[in-house]
Amino acid sequence: MHNPLTTPIKRVVIAGGGTAGWLAAALMKKVLNSAVEITLVESEAIGTVGVGEATIPPIRLVNQVLGIDEAQFLHDTKATIKLAIRFENWKTKGQSYYHTFGAPGKSMAFCHFHHYWLKGKSLGHTADLWEYDFNYHAAEAGKFAQINAKDPVLELPFAYHFDATLYAKYLRKLSENMGVSRIEGKIAHVERYQDSGYIKSLRLDNGQEIEGDLFVDCTGFKGLLIGEALGAGYDDWSHLLPCDSAIAVPSERHEKTAPFTRSIAHDAGWQWRIPLQHRNGNGHVYCSRYISDQQAQDTLMENLDTKPLGDPKLIKFTTGRRRKQWYKNVVAVGLSSGFLEPLESTSIHLIQSAIVRLIQLFPHNGFTPSLQAEYNKQSELEFEQIRDFLVLHYQVNERSDSAVFLMICAILNCQIH
């Protein structure tokens, strides 16, 4: 009889080798070390989603924990520095604003700087809030330097843009060097214990059987283990964030590498532009209720600022989250755990925090329900906070000419009143 409450967890099997799979492998091996044996199975024939190139500053903590040499990392992943996101045409057409990683001005205990700024404004002071933000000035000037100042006001907090495929490769090399085993093959069948319903093993299409105690589902949107095998359910949030499609295409490197991501609002969604060392990443996220895939592609291609380097790729998604992110002996990490449009580059961060949470609550001696409940509670809160932040982008604008913006505002207004 399989008793999950008393079975020690020694064998971790990671299904999928995109950013989620390899980041899970590297961090878990680094921190849990010999307490677990880690095997990752991935299929080159299936491949990865191939997008996900802009990050937020906590990614630097991952690099620190993994002992990564920053110069080598920047070189190997063709990365650039990111100080902010520039939102263009969001508030009104022709206008832009930044979300920087810095904080404007110097906050005092219990009182953030913007309160002083608002007070100053009421007294006739005319300076813009961003005049006090170093990241804003550096982004506008296209400059960056690593500053180690005692006063955080003088620092330039930053993250990276990197090539998603090179990033997964980089993490794979790191993980394999630490002792993670990799198996190439397509998972064809998921075997479960009859009594507990927990997953016993994964069978590949060549017949090979991979047994494990804990399975980390990193199989992307399909959620092969958490969704297809265990039926953990999915909360669909497309009534709040209705964009359901993206077209992505690489283009030639821009002659000037901007230290920020661009997010350009269009009529039925928005376009990203991510500068890398060897090319730009571009994509159009949109709501297919308002424009066809062809129209979305045309909008993207007409708005590239350099020559395209490949064929555009269409990606369909449903905004939302897996109802139980940890269910039985499966933890969903990455796209299998849910997806929120990449307006604030939060998906890789969600991967990072899911893995850190799993490490902190790791069920070494068996599947204690309280660990699982705590994990799911924290994940739920994190997804909801990011969802609400994204919705705000559409709500706080004056775009009466855009179908998507109007629809989200109407939905929110109905819910508020």
Ligand X SMILES: Cc1cc2nc3c(=O)[nH]c(=O)nc-3n(C[C@H](O)[C@H](O)[C@H](O)COP(=O)(O)OP(=O)(O)OC[C@H]3O[C@@H](n4cnc5c(N)ncnc54)[C@H](O)[C@@H]3O)c2cc1C
Hey, which residues are catalytic here? 82
Binds ligand X by CB under 6 A, chosen from 12, 53, 101, 284: 53
Quote the CA–CA distance of 11 and 203 in Å, as a whole number.
Answer: 16
Interaction between residue 320 and ligand X (CB under 6 A): no
Interaction between residue 312 and ligand X (CB under 6 A): no
How many other C-beta atoms can be found within 10 angstroms of the C-beta atom of residue 88? 17
Element (H, E) at 202: strand 199-204
CB 176 within 8 A of CB 182: yes
Q: How big is the site for ligand X, counted in residues (CB under 6 A)?
A: 38
Binds ligand X by CB under 6 A, chosen from 21, 102, 275, 312: 21
Q: Which of residues 139-168 bind ligand X (CB under 6 A)?
A: 164
Q: Which of residues 186-225 bind ligand X (CB under 6 A)?
A: 186-187, 218-220, 224
Looking at the Cβ atoms of 219 and 402, the one nearer to ligand X is 219
Binds ligand X by CB under 6 A, chosen from 348, 354, 355, 386: 348
Interaction between residue 291 and ligand X (CB under 6 A): no
Interaction between residue 334 and ligand X (CB under 6 A): yes
Interaction between residue 309 and ligand X (CB under 6 A): no
Looking at the Cβ atoms of 91 and 203, the one nearer to ligand X is 203
DSSP codes, 260-298:
EEEEEEETTEEEEEEE-SSEEEEEEEE-TTTS-HHHHHH
CB 299 within 8 A of CB 264: no
List beta partners, residue 86: 98, 262
Q: Shortest distance, CB of residue 180 to ligand X, whole angstroms?
A: 14
Looking at the Cβ atoms of 218 and 409, the one nearer to ligand X is 218
CB 39 within 8 A of CB 212: yes
Q: Shortest distance, CB of residue 111 to ligand X, whole angstroms?
A: 32
Quote the CA–CA distance of 48 and 104 in Å, as a whole number.
Answer: 38
Gap between the terminal Cα atoms of the chain: 54
Name the one range near ligand X by CB under 6 A: 41-49, 110-118, 148-156, 363-371. 41-49
